[in-house]
Chain A
Amino acid sequence: MLEILGKTSIDFMAKRRWAFLFSGIMVVLGIVAIIQIGRGSANLGIDFAGGTAVQLKFDQAIRIDEARKVLEANGLGNAELQEFGQDNKLLIRLKASTTIEEKVADRVVAVFTKEFASNHFVVDSSTEIGPTIGKKLQGDALIAILISFAGIILYVAARFEFRFGIAAALATFHDVLAVLGAFYILDKEITLLVVTALLTLAGYSMTDTVVVFDRIRENLRMRRRESEETIINNAVNQVLSRTIVTSLTVVLVLIPLTLAGGEVLHDFSLALLWGVIFGTYSSVFVASPLLLLWPGASGRLLKGN
């Protein structure tokens, strides 16, 4: 039998103060990110903020500073540029300040056709989104997230106890906020695909937490005499090898996707990768200790069988 970990008995609960401190910082970052998104000063993708994005694929390499100069000379100075080196690709983004009636995408293409006549290119993609649609997408995504959280709290509360539901939801929120905060700090663009990644990792983190909770419930029923802290610690140790193996396999999937999945999948996979790491951490160091903060009536679980 090949094992990464043997039988462990690490006292995870004793380290909860450090964990809460670290998690607290990450959550605050995440909340700051959300406030900034609400105020419109975060790096929102144009699918949420509205605007224009054009991606061009050139035959020869193109210098990004030259491209910027050319755009500025043609009154498109507020463009953000990003290049994907190996493929000679250039992504030009213009936020919502311009209206869609102007056909900004056509203007950008015209500028490059004129100024870089010797370097032929094709339009990989162009996206124009009116600001109203962006707002609607934002709202829809938010409603979907809130409803799913409410549903999960109810289900976990019904299957376990109310405090389990709250703890699971909080731990999941924590993971989403942590990744969002990290994206905000690194000034990475928050697009619809990144939001999808956040939802995916919410699902993943929830699963992870439920697995640990399940074991806690099982142990609560079997060993009534031990303190809750010991029971929780044992449960976390018992599922530890599963937690590690699962996280490892997911990380094995995500690393190649992040490194070689192409520019569309890159940010998506990156968000997931961080999400898995935070999700694994949170089910051990956040969700379970939260139960200790709220010891409450563990009676129902003991009675039921």
Chain B
Amino acid sequence: MKKVGGRLTLLALVVVLSVIFFIPTYQPFYQALPGWLKQVMPNKGITLGLDLQGGIHLVMEVDEDRAVEIAVDRSVASLQDVLVEKKIPVESVTRTGQAQVTMQFQNAELKEQIQKLIDDYPTFSETASAGSANRLVWELREAEVKRIKDSAINQALETIRNRIDQFGVAEPIVQRQGLKQIVVQLPGVKEPKRARDLIKETALLEFKMLDEDNQSKLDLPSRIPKDKEEEVLKQAESKLPAGDQILFERGVDKDTGREYRIPYLVKKRVMLTGDVLSDARVSIGQFNDPYVSITFDGKGGREFERITGDNIKKRMAVVLDNTIYSAPVIQDRIVGGRAQITGTFSMQEANDLAIVLRAGALPAPLKIIQDLTVGPSLGKDSIEKGVQATLFAGAMVVIFMIVYYRLSGVIADFALMLNLLCLIGALSALNATLTLPGIAGIVLTIGMGVDSNVLIFERIREELRSGKAVRLAIDGGYDKALLTIVDSHVTTLITGVALFLFGTGPIKGFAVTLCLGIGINLFTALIGTKVIFDLLNQRHKVGQLSI
């Protein structure tokens, strides 16, 4: 007589553990539990994937090359300042290529004087071969280029995380994937477009001066419809003064609701950037129009004071990502480090603008290379239909097993339930994310579970046919089916592991449920059902087996 006590205890333990781990997945029940119990219980169960509950999945790439260019542009701007300060008359300082700064000057004697400046720019080295008597070329060092590229992605990650935190999404995922990709997952987001814009916006805030002296010479149109910017740029191209550019202010016609653009001639030189902000929040103006008030940090405040003091009665443009928000006339020196960004925006737009300004600018533009958005309605539909169909299918199998194998079929159905319970328990314990392919994995393992029982039962039937007694037939059936079951499970496990190691995204989810399911299957088929057969035998000394 085989002992069944130990195996029964093990079985009971597994069931209880599975139930405990599963409970947090079913929130209504979990929330109703008393507090002390929640303390000692696991608090997180299975999360539904985006395909099941709706949400956004974005994969973005940081434009690293642009990040380098931006860094070089900054050095160019600061170099220009220094040259003006030291009264060195240089014809032009420009970025050439990605990482070069080229300086042109008339007077060849200036060369030595400028060359000395490189001591203050240790990240650059002189490229003598590209220079001449009237030209000096500096290039960003290789190591620095690499550092900028590396830090660009980390900075971008940090910034996106900040923005999403302030936007308020439950359980967002923001992580690096590979060398230069960022994955963002926002489950259950109701306004996908808004969230996407919020993430993608570079949010580079710049203060630039208008070139009012030259604006009249260009005879720019005063107001153009949206999408006509290209034409204006083309017309003005030839007449554009050096060091100037055309930027557009965005506006909305109050009567027609149409967007329009106002072109301005702006000096390329950046007076101040958003780096020096310490805060940004939404305020309401006297006509109930929202604006964003910004506060500079100490250094930024002093700088702002100096700039406004130097440019009284001139117009300064507030530029965000190359779009002018407003271009007010500076009335007086602004002390105290505060300023306002006004423009035609809605409350929500003002809110989002404040968020991106607070969270800081991205080091470089992002390129969205994958964007999956699932509306909450589709998620609900696919769960409902999928669950209904699965339940119906499950019922068919349960009934079929009982009809075909009688009492043994009931035992097999018990194993099936045990299987499902353990699998869900294990997934809960791992805090796995369940996706549609994951469900497919569950269906496959359930199928394999049924198959294991069919294999065993058919073997037992064979043994019975050859005239063996019930107990011997059961033992023989299990013994002979064992090898087959192990072989078939191991081969499938190999597939599962390979898919887990080398697959991406949804395929990985499938692999996880498959691998777990296989392990659990082996357990329920070889221990779960056997112990029940043994128990039946022990109690009743079965003369005939219902199989």
Q: Which A residues form the contact surface with B (CB < 8 A)?
A: 1-2, 4, 55, 57, 87, 100-101, 105-106, 122-130, 132-133, 136-137, 140-141, 143-145, 147-148, 151-152, 155-156, 159, 168, 192-193, 195-197, 199-200, 202-204, 206-207, 210-211, 213-215, 218, 238-239, 241-242, 245-246, 248-250, 252-257, 259-262, 264-265, 268, 272
Contact = CB atoms under 8 A, between A and B. Distances in A.
A128 B498 contact: no
A261 B386 contact: yes
Given A2-B404, A148-B495, A265 B371 contact: no
A143 B502 contact: yes
Interface majority SS (helix, strand, loop, mixed), chain A: helix
A259 to B, nearest CB: 8
Contact of B487 (A147, A214, A265): A214
26 contacts: A2-B403, A2-B405, A105-B373, A122-B375, A125-B373, A126-B192, A127-B373, A130-B368, A133-B59, A133-B370, A140-B503, A144-B501, A192-B507, A195-B507, A196-B507, A203-B496, A207-B492, A214-B488, A249-B401, A249-B450, A249-B454, A257-B443, A260-B388, A260-B392, A261-B386, A268-B436
Nearest to B181: A133
Contacts of B390: 253, 257, 261
Contacts of A242: 454-455, 458
A57 B376 CA distance: 12
B458 A245 contact: yes
B440 A246 contact: no
B483 interface: yes
Q: Give chain B's interface secondary structure class.
A: helix
B484 interface: yes
Interface of B: 51, 59, 192-193, 367-375, 377-378, 381-382, 384-386, 388-390, 392-394, 396-397, 400-401, 403-406, 436-437, 440-441, 443-444, 446-448, 450-451, 454-455, 458, 461-462, 480, 483-484, 487-492, 494-499, 501-507, 510, 514, 547
Contacts of A151: 494-495, 497-498
B157 to A, nearest CB: 19
Nearest to A246: B451
Contacts of A148: 494-495, 497-499
Contacts of A140: 502-504, 507
A254 B390 CA distance: 9
A1 B455 CA distance: 16
Given A125-B374, A248-B400, A144 B503 contact: yes
A242 to B, nearest CB: 4
Given A125-B378, A152-B491, A155-B491, 18 more contacts: A2-B403, A124-B377, A125-B375, A128-B370, A128-B371, A151-B497, A155-B490, A199-B499, A203-B496, A211-B455, A211-B484, A249-B401, A261-B390, A262-B382, A262-B385, A265-B382, A265-B385, A268-B440
Given A141-B507, A246-B454, A256-B396, A211 B386 contact: no
Contacts of B370: 128-130, 133
A127 B375 CA distance: 11
Give the residue among B386, B447, B490, B504 with the most A Cβ atoms within 10 A.
B447
B371 A100 contact: yes
A24 to B, nearest CB: 25
B495 A126 contact: no
Contacts of A57: 375, 377-378
Contacts of B462: 238
A196 to B, nearest CB: 5
B507 A246 contact: no
Contacts of A1: 461, 547
Nearest to A242: B458
Contacts of B480: 218
Contacts of B499: 144, 148, 199
A141 B455 CA distance: 32
Contacts of B444: 200, 203-204
A207 B397 contact: no
B503 A100 contact: no
Nearest to B455: A242
Given A124-B378, A249-B454, A261-B386, A199 B487 contact: no
A117 B400 CA distance: 51
B375 A253 contact: no
Contacts of B400: 248-249, 252
Nearest to A250: B447
B386 A126 contact: no
A-B pairs with lowest CB-CB distance, top 7 = A262-B385, A148-B498, A130-B369, A124-B378, A144-B502, A151-B494, A253-B393
